[in-house]
Structure 1
Amino acid sequence: MNMACIETLPYLSELISVSVVAMFMAISPGADFVMVTRNSMFHSRSAGIFSALGVGSAIWIHVTYSIAGLALIISRSIVLFSILKYVGAAYLIYMGWKTFTSKELIDIDEPSAGNALSNGAAFKIGFVTNALNPKTTIFFLSIFTQVVNPDTPIWMQLVYGLIISLSHVAWFTGVAVFLSHPILLQRFQNSKSVIEKVVGCVLIGFGCKVAAASHG
């Protein structure tokens, strides 16, 4: 047994708990899922994968402020929580409206240049969606106050952050690959306009739900 395994043993229970919760958090339906779905189906597999990478990278913002103890401050401050909540809600409503009112039709075989979403833009969408999600903030508050012991060393908390981040990247990359499969896209093509409207409404709905959520 190497030294790293020996040092991790005292925190094995925490490690298992964080891993299980991270998995369920990643697969639970939410704004991240809808945004990755949107970019995978309406743009490209690459756009979906880079959105997944953006979501996974944004996790580190939550990890950082949780380790610093700021998650507790945010959760108890009506002003800070409200700012995060309304900015996040506005972003989701904006993206939902853009999707709902889109007039571009995707040609799966020959995507138009106007419809293309760059990898950088896709990454940014995934990053911002997760970073501004108050649901994620509350999740990290619960993890780092109820599951993680205050005496757990920083390096171990970073390991937990890595597990959470990789869980999100793995899940949403799988979602992007699955939803961008040519067979599925061909089936979606005939209903693309309707699906755009549905996805747009769902994003707007998530935004309204976030805005209406009460503090605490």
Structure 2
Amino acid sequence: MGEIKKLQIAAYGDAACVDKLLSKISAMINPSTYSLTYKAEYGSADETNASDPTMVFTGMGDSDLNLDLLVDGTGIIPIPDKQTVDGYINKLRDVMFSYQGDKHRPNFLKISWGDFVYRGVCTSVTTNYKLFNPDGSALRAEVKLVIAKSLDFKTKKQKEKKNSPDMTHIRTVKAGDTLPMMAYRIYGDPSYYMEVARINGLSSVHAIRPGDELYFPPLKKG
């Protein structure tokens, strides 16, 4: 009988969860269930005097992985690295939520369990304490995680396979490039640079370096 594979949560510094592994943690006990929620967004067609609504697809909405992890310190199953329940939970929170100072955001996450792989960002961690030692320290707890699906721009573009000039653009910053200059090349108007900076999570319109990849989405003009 093969070794039991534990669910693993890995934190990355890059949105693709490929190059910059920061930390990782394995589930103490594999979950008995998990749930996936996928959402699509629709809006009513802009019609006058319509007898019935016609829903028009506007984009994919937020999609979530809901995961419950049990942490047990009764000794039935050893906690990895001889940690306490509180110590394991603190490490788990650190993996989920560590703040990247250079990126001005928490970690990107990859959850792996067998053939199941899910990439996203953690939106909430809720800990329910179930059992306590005589001194009040935690002996058993259930940790509820919500991870919102998030793909990097390059992977998303490849997945969508949209080649229209009005669709998404990924551009690599070259020496001498400025954000207004790049916005002008894509949109024919440099004034869109602030919106591009916001969408890419830049702390400043000057916070670009040669080699950076920037996402230029379809934008409404005028």
TM-score range, shorter chain: under 0.3
Higher relative contact order (CA 8 A, sep 6+): 1
From the two aligned structures, give the one with the greater helix fraction: 1
The TM-score, its normalising length taken from structure 2, stands at 0.22
Larger C-alpha radius of gyration, 1 or 2?
2
Give the structure with the larger strand fraction. 2
